[in-house]
Structure 1
Amino acid sequence: LWSGILRNWKDKGITSAELSVLPRSHNHPDDNTDLLIAIAGEVHWTLEEVEQYFVDYDLVGSDDGHPYYYLATFSDETPDELKRIAGLNSSNQLHMGLNIVPDEDQGEFE
């Protein structure tokens, strides 16, 4: 951080910074920690908020098998402020780029 975004922090007028320690992922199929962290960065929420309101994601693609994007769905209970911050549509969904899902091979779209 000190050699990146916080370099010359006094010159940038930064007076404080809030940092969080994120959990490490475990290398087994049921662990989605890396995915949740990536989504949290994409929607500008905390990891805890993503864990609470993220429901699922689907790969959307063409009829001939080419992937277009991921469609993330969030809970109907998501607070309006978080919906606004993330830019969710009226169905509580968000289009996300193909690189959002860590280590997943898009392969042939079904």
Structure 2
Amino acid sequence: NLWSGILRNWKDKGITSAELSVLPRSHNHPDDNTDLLIAIAGEVHWTLEEVEQYFVDYDLVGSDDGHPYYYLATFSDETPDELKRIAGLNSSNQLHMGLNIVPDEDQGEFE
């Protein structure tokens, strides 16, 4: 509920407008990555549409003995410089993301 949460006392906070987006619901099938894209959009501070356009893939990075460290997200070379700056992408258009970014995925041991 926005009115009892972040918009509580909106007049006192000087809020004059708010931009809201309706996000799609994910579908419960293996090929659906809606929840992942929404999580990445929140992490990089982009719109969902920007993530859908420029996000390429992610890999789990970890130790030689199978302990996960982080996810490495890769974005397109076509990503605008302003979006790269906002997200904090490195020179390879990549970003380290925490292990909790990928919804419902068991990191366990990886190869």
Same fold (TM over 0.5): yes
Matched pairs, number: 110
TM-score by length of 1: 0.99
Aligned to 2:37: 36
Specify the SS of the correspondent of 1:51. Answer: helix
Identity over aligned residues, as a percent? 100
Shift of 1:109: 1.8
Give runs of ≥4 in structure 1 deviating > 3 Å. none
Aligned-residue offset at 1:30: 0.1
Give 5+ residue unaligned stretches, structure 2.
Answer: none
TM-superposition CA deviations, 1:62-109 (whole Å, max 9, x none): 000000000000000000000000000000000000000000000112
Instruction: Map Cα deviations across residues 16-47 of structure 1 (whole Å, 9 max, x no partner).
Output: 00000000000000000000000000000000
Supply the distance in 2 between the matched residues of 1:97 and 1:3 (Cα, whole angstroms): 29
Give the secondary structure class of the aligned counterpart of 1:19: coil
- 1:1-110 aligned within 5 A: 1-110=2-111
Report how far residue 8 of structure 1 moved. Answer: 0.8
- Unaligned regions of 5+ residues in structure 1, if any? none
User: Distance between the aligned counterparts of 1:3 and 1:109, measured in 2?
Assistant: 42
1:36 counterpart SS class: helix
Cα distance between partner residues in 2 of 1:96 and 1:5: 25
The alignment yields a C-alpha RMSD, in angstroms, of 0.4
Find the aligned partners of 2:33 and 2:70 in 1 and give their Cα distance: 19
